[in-house]
């Protein structure tokens, strides 16, 4: 039985995170215009339930980009005239019609919501670190301390399929370190692909020590099998138990798949839950594995179809940017996915279409690690950490700034140079759009100061907007479509709305810098970038970063529409856009006059 102090701590944590999540629900659903609050007085708002018997009252500032900066302490719920506790589950139930959730889908969405709430609330009080300590912590300690998930998506840690024990073993916020289960898979049933300079023998000899390789060879030999007929690949322990060992039982019986057991290295789950970091040998590759749970709008399997082409896409991207003097000068680095193996079940492949979850059960992907690319005085952190708020309500970004010892505006300028500038450059110079949200960027800090960044998750996220003839057939999956009038969304939506909007609100609420001044710094930084890259002037004009407005992309709306495949990855970028919702561009007022691109001049 839990000790009384432990029960009290858990109750306190649940109260903290219930209010935080309720605040986020109101903020993001107002931002996406599901909810239309009534202004009762300046800064005082009211939201009614669907049946109008319950009302939510709160104070808020509406910042740039329709960012609802709600005072969490002001939240009140009044039902039939009686005050009651603010609870995120009740809140979603109260407004589910306004959110457009089909009645039959509400319970599963609530399950994802409650699971997400548990990420922060269920951890023992002794586990989370105060931001002052976290600002000096190592890469994987920071990774395991994050609790907020994707800043836009409310139900961002649903993990449908995991049980309680699975959460303890495999969820990133628990920081557990685990061995992977290795299997041998018949080569004639697999797709193996690698970037130039990487082959299977070289890959596997760097990922497994000689003793383990010998032991695996001996397992095959003892069964009368030849190691040269097989690839060795890791599987996620949950995937092995819940999916592979059952659905591929015939393949195991007929030795198309052979269980080899765990290898010695231990791995830590990352914020992108199916990606694991090698804590035994940090310079070895990350491993990304099929994991057939529902999480943040997708079932997280990985198909052999994608494995066959992912290294080719990475190789093509590398060829485009290799030797780029600007990217090298700022230290910006792409972490490439160097090799992949995908297993094909002949019967399931014959009976299903591409995209079926039954084609996504057994795959592995190896991605470069940043660990060998930093100096001894440098610190790695997921960029998601800039939005982290600890249990006491203190923001980690403020602790980084304090540690840096430099002025807030100088810190923001260094950060924008490390992150925003290369993302703009890749889009405007190479027509490459990525998904540069918090957990897809790794920042390098030197005594709290941002100095450069790593970009990851290339093969699944990159879109090439240029001439399809310029990309080889093996990488055609990366070809995207975006008209001139929405190409700027690769920055205005994917960076401004999806990430900087949230960072600006934290900095504003913390008294570090007012929201409007933050966006003035962003404008100044972009003007400086454009001044340094005059060769791209025609594209800056065509894909205007200072456009007065831009179309919104509503991520929660996409998830509510289909929580297992919120986006069809084969669709064009334009299909994500809400044509009816225009956001006012917070930097439009600072458009530079044509005669002088070196200074921001408010209009």
Read off φ and ψ for residue 11, nearest 5 degrees: -60, -40
Give the torsion through C-alpha atoms of 259, 265, 269, 275, to 10 deg.
-70
585 DSSP assignment: P
- Give the Cα separation of 285 and 304 in Å (integer): 20
Let me know: does 59 contact 43? Beta carbons within 8 Å.
yes
- Give the Cα separation of 433 and 486 in Å (integer): 12
Instruction: Write out the two tokens for 471.
Output: 């990309």
Considering only CA atoms, which of 515, 465, 469 is closest in space to residue 485? 465
pTM of the model: 0.95
Report the Cα 107 to chain-centroid distance in Å.
Answer: 25
- Work out whether the CA dihedral 9, 12, 16, 17 comes out positive or negative: positive
- Give the Cα separation of 422 and 400 in Å (integer): 22
- Work out whether the CA dihedral 198, 200, 203, 205 comes out positive or negative: negative
Residue 405 gets the label, from left (phi > 0), alpha (psi -120 to 50) or beta, of: left
Q: In what order do the strands lie in the sheet with 190-194?
A: 190-194, 337-343, 363-367, 286-289, 275-278, 267-269
Mean pLDDT, consecutive 10-residue stretches, the chain (603 aa), reads 48 86 98 97 98 98 98 97 96 96 92 92 72 97 91 94 94 95 98 98 97 98 98 98 97 98 98 96 98 92 95 98 97 98 94 93 98 95 96 95 98 98 98 93 98 96 94 94 92 98 98 98 98 97 97 93 78 81 97 62 43
Strands 463-464 and 432-433: antiparallel
Instruction: Write out the two tokens for 178.
Output: 């685990």
Q: Name residues whose C-beta falls within 8 Å of residue 452's C-beta, 6 or more positions apart in sequence.
A: 330, 331, 332, 333, 418, 443, 444
128 DSSP assignment: S
Q: How many Cβ atoms from other residues are within 10 Å of residue 378's Cβ?
A: 13
Let me know: does 507 contact 397? Beta carbons within 8 Å.
yes
- Work out whether the CA dihedral 405, 406, 407, 411 comes out positive or negative: negative
Let me know: does 94 contact 50? Beta carbons within 8 Å.
yes
- Give the Cα separation of 416 and 460 in Å (integer): 25
Q: Which helix (H) or strand (E) holds 584?
A: strand 577-584
pLDDT for 566 equals 78
- Rounded to whole angstroms, what are the CA distances from 325 to 197, 451, 485? 23, 17, 29
- Give the Cα separation of 180 and 289 in Å (integer): 10
- Give the Cα separation of 179 and 234 in Å (integer): 10
Let me know: does 296 contact 149? Beta carbons within 8 Å.
yes
pLDDT for 7 equals 47
Q: Is 79 exposed, middle or buried (0-12, 13-18, 19+ CB in 10 A)?
A: middle
Bridge partner list, 160:
162, 294
Q: Which helix (H) or strand (E) holds 523?
A: helix 515-532
Helices vs. strands in the chain: H and E counts, helices first: 24, 25
User: What value does the CA radius of gyration of the chain take, rounded to a whole number of Å?
Assistant: 24
Maximum separation of any 2 CA atoms in the chain, in Å: 80
Q: Name residues whose C-beta falls within 8 Å of residue 346's C-beta, 6 or more positions apart in sequence.
A: 189
- Give the Cα separation of 270 and 442 in Å (integer): 12
Q: Name residues whose C-beta falls within 8 Å of residue 102's C-beta, 6 or more positions apart in sequence.
A: none
Strands 190-194 and 44-48: unpaired
Instruction: Write out the two tokens for 370.
Output: 């940043």
Q: Which helix (H) or strand (E) holds 200?
A: helix 200-207
> Which runs of consecutive H residues, i.e. helices, occur in 262-357?
304-321, 325-330, 346-351
DSSP 378-418: EEEEEGGGGG-B-TTS-BHHHHHHHHHTS-HHHHHHHHHHH
Between the two ends of the chain, the Cα-to-Cα distance in Å is 65
Let me know: does 475 contact 313? Beta carbons within 8 Å.
yes
- Give the Cα separation of 352 and 359 in Å (integer): 8
Instruction: Write out the two tokens for 27.
Output: 């903020």
Bridge partner list, 59:
44
Let me know: does 314 contact 462? Beta carbons within 8 Å.
no
Let me know: does 57 contact 45? Beta carbons within 8 Å.
yes
């Amino acid at each position: 039985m839990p000790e009384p102090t432990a029960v009290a701590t858990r109750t306190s944590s649940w109260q903290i995170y219930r209010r935080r999540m309720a605040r986020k629900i109101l903020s993001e659903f107002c931002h996406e215009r599901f909810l239309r609050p009534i202004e009762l007085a300046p800064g005082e708002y009211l939201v009614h339930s669907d049946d109008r018997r319950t009302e939510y009252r709160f104070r808020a500032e509406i910042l740039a980009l329709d960012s609802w900066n709600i005072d969490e302490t002001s939240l009140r719920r009044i039902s039939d005239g009686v005050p009651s506790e603010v609870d995120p589950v009740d809140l979603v139930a109260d407004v589910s019609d306004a959110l457009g959730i089909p009645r039959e889908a509400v319970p599963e969405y609530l399950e994802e919501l409650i699971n997400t709430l548990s990420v922060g609330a269920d951890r023992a009080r002794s586990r989370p670190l105060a931001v002052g300590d976290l600002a000096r912590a190592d890469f994987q300690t920071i990774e395991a301390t994050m609790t907020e998930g994707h800043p836009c998506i409310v139900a961002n840690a649903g993990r449908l399929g995991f049980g309680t024990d699975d959460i303890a073993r495999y969820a990133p916020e628990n920081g557990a370190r685990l061995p992977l289960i290795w299997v041998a898979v018949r080569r004639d049933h697999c797709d193996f692909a690698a970037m130039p300079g990487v082959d299977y023998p070289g890959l596997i000899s760097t990922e497994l020590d000689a003793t383990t390789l010998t032991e695996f060879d001996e397992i095959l030999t003892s069964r009368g099998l030849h190691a040269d007929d097989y690839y060795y690949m890791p599987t996620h322990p949950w995937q092995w138990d819940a999916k592979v060992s059952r659905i591929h039982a015939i393949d195991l019986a007929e030795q198309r798949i052979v269980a080899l057991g765990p290898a010695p290295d231990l791995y830590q789950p990352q914020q992108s839950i199916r990606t694991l970091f090698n804590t035994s040998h940090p310079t070895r590759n990350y491993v990304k594995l099929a994991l057939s749970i529902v999480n943040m709008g997708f079932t997280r399997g990985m198909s052999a179809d994608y494995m066959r082409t992912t290294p080719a896409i990475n190789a093509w991207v590398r060829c485009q940017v290799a030797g780029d003097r600007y990217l090298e000068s700022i230290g910006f680095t792409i972490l490439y996915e160097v090799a992949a193996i995908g297993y094909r079940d002949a019967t399931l492949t014959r009976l299903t279409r591409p995209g079926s979850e039954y084609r996504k059960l057994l795959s592995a992907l190896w991605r470069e690690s940043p660990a060998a690319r930093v100096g001894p005085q440098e610190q790695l952190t997921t960029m998601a950490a800039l939005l982290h708020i600890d249990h006491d309500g203190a923001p980690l970004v403020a602790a980084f700034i304090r540690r840096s010892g430099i002025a807030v505006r100088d810190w923001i300028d260094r950060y924008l140079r490390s992150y925003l500038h290369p993302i703009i450059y890749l889009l405007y110079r190479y027509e490459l759009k990525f998904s540069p949200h918090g957990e897809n960027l790794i920042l390098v800090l030197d005594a709290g100061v941002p100095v450069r960044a790593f970009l990851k998750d290339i093969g699944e996220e990159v879109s090439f907007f240029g001439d399809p003839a310029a990309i080889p057939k093996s990488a055609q999956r990366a070809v995207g479509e975006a008209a001139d009038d929405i190409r700027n969304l690769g920055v205005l939506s994917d960076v401004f709305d999806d990430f900087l909007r949230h960072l600006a609100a934290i900095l504003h609420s913390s008294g570090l810098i007012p929201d409007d001044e933050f966006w003035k710094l962003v404008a100044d930084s972009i003007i400086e970038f454009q001044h340094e890259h005059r060769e791209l002037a025609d594209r800056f004009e065509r894909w205007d970063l200072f456009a007065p407005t831009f179309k919104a992309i509503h991520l929660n709306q996409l998830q509510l529409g289909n929580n297992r495949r919120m986006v069809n990855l084969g669709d064009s970028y334009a299909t994500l856009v809400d044509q009816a919702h225009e956001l006012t561009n917070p930097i439009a007022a600072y458009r530079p006059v044509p005669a002088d691109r070196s200074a921001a001049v408010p209009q």
